[in-house]
Amino acid sequence: MMQKKQLCILGSTGSIGTQTLDVVRRHPDRYEVYAICAHRSIDLLIAQAREFRPDVVCIADESLYAPLRDALADMPVKVWSGADSIAEMVTMPSIDIVVASMVGYAGLRPTIEAIKAGKTIALANKETLVVAGEIICDLAVRHHTPILPVDSEHSAIFQSLVGEDRSEIEKILLTASGGPFRTYSLEQMKTVTAADALKHPNWDMGAKITIDSASMMNKGFEVIEAKWLFGVPVEKVQVLVHPQSIVHSAVQFTDGAIKAQLGAPDMRLPIQYALSFPERLKSDFPRADLFALKDLTFEEPDLARFPNLALAYEAMRQGGNMPCVLNAANEVANLAFRQGRCGFLQMSDIIRTTMTRTDFIHKPTYDDYVATDAAARRIAEELL
């Protein structure tokens, strides 16, 4: 009989986490949930624990430890809490794959610990590579740890590169839906609300990522992530606005050929591919009906209306700790916008100013990243 792969899912109650669990439901002969963790969504975490019966359940918010422990008292499960517990959980010997789908900077430390422990990483937390791409890639090489992308765009690039020589990459073509404000003028964007920004036309994602998609910061992060994942200079990553979200991304090679991965906008497909690679498993996920599509269109991104994308390119060109500054300022601004404390266009102003006011470090260590994150958050909050 096939030995089931043991999964640890970081952020099991979020969009990627819940869809990963749906893949597990569809393939119970291949996957078993060994550990799950969430930030604060205790009710859903309890329901997941009762359905999948993992060995370990962890809540990041330590104030929720007691109610979680009490709710699961009748089950043979270890209940943990806090950042230290999450970092320990990912190293447990039984775990084969860590699905890194925590949102934001919080995902960096457990991903580092999982890499050191030699776990296969199914990476959905793009901020990990944005903040500390050089450290992550060096650790992955040193510990012979595979990093398999879960983002639909990076999965598409990864699939297009299977069997290819990466030295023959001429250009990575990274597609973007354009978000809900693709056709809005600057004047219109001055008055948009978080509720408006959360209405993504094609994808069902968590609130933070959906706002990042609306501002195109999400695509900026993906540019940086692509640079580290595929070993290309940032100048070789070109963003194309593709409103239909059918071509998930493509690679252009030195002979002029372009390979792309197409499919319906359903995150379960790249999640499943990351878990099963190099196999492809049968699924009943929705299919893209090419006959029903009237057009597949591509546009250049408008950096005047969406300056966050330009800021991401600039942060990567500067290198050092600047992408870490970019991420920290964005997390502060994104939350402030969702809370109604700043306008949509003001987010870019906060990020840009924070980048100019935070001390630059050319060769940062992990401790430098921690200090940079704290400093940039403090500056961004002061700007609010």
Does residue 207 surpass a pLDDT of 90?
Answer: no
Does residue 202 surpass a pLDDT of 80?
Answer: no
Which pLDDT tens digit goes with each residue over 180-194?
Answer: 999 999 999 999 999
Which pLDDT tens digit goes with each residue over 344-356?
Answer: 999 999 999 999 9
Q: Where residue 47 falls among pLDDT bands split at 50, 70, 90?
A: very high
Share of the chain above pLDDT 90, in %: 88
Q: Where residue 138 falls among pLDDT bands split at 50, 70, 90?
A: very high
Which pLDDT tens digit goes with each residue over 58-108?
Answer: 999 999 999 999 999 999 999 999 999 999 999 999 999 999 998 778 889
The two three-digit tokens of residue 114, written as one number: 């999982």
Rounded (10°) CA dihedral 253, 254, 257, 258: 30
pLDDT, averaged across the chain: 94
Give the start-to-end residue ranges of the domains of the chain. Answer: 5-150, 154-318
Among residues 349, 287, 370, which one has the least CA distance to residue 109? 370
Task: Break the chain down into helix, strand, coil percent, rounded to 5.
Answer: 50, 15, 35
Provide CB contacts within 8 A for 155, sequence distance 6+: 149, 248, 261, 269, 270, 273, 274
Phi and psi dihedrals of 79, rounded to 5?
Answer: -115, 120
The two three-digit tokens of residue 221, written as one number: 């992060």
Average pLDDT over residues 190-216: 84
Alpha-carbon distance of 375 to 372, in angstroms, equals 5
User: For residues 15 and 209, is the Cβ–Cβ distance under 8 A?
Assistant: yes
Which pLDDT tens digit goes with each residue over 13-42?
Answer: 999 999 999 999 999 999 999 999 999 999
Q: How many helices (H) and strands (E) does the chain have?
A: 16, 11
Alpha-carbon distance of 143 to 118, in angstroms, equals 6
Alpha-carbon distance of 135 to 145, in angstroms, equals 13
User: For residues 199 and 214, is the Cβ–Cβ distance under 8 A?
Assistant: no
The model's pTM is 0.91
Fold observed for domain 5-150 = Rossmann fold (3.40.50)
User: For residues 225 and 153, is the Cβ–Cβ distance under 8 A?
Assistant: no
Share of the chain above pLDDT 70, in %: 98
User: For residues 373 and 328, is the Cβ–Cβ distance under 8 A?
Assistant: yes
Q: Where residue 127 falls among pLDDT bands split at 50, 70, 90?
A: confident
Alpha-carbon distance of 13 to 16, in angstroms, equals 8
Does residue 203 surpass a pLDDT of 70?
Answer: no
Which pLDDT score, from 0 to 100, does residue 75 have? 96
In angstroms, the Cα distances linking 166 to 110, 129, 276, 303, 315 are 29, 19, 22, 29, 24
Helix (H), strand (E) at residue 173: strand 169-176
* 12 strand-pairing partners: none
CB atoms near residue 282 (< 10 Å): 8
Provide CB contacts within 8 A for 197, sequence distance 6+: 179, 180, 181, 210, 211, 214, 215, 337, 344
Does residue 264 surpass a pLDDT of 70?
Answer: yes
Which pLDDT tens digit goes with each residue over 285-316?
Answer: 999 998 888 889 999 999 999 999 999 999 99
Which pLDDT tens digit goes with each residue over 156-170?
Answer: 999 999 999 999 999
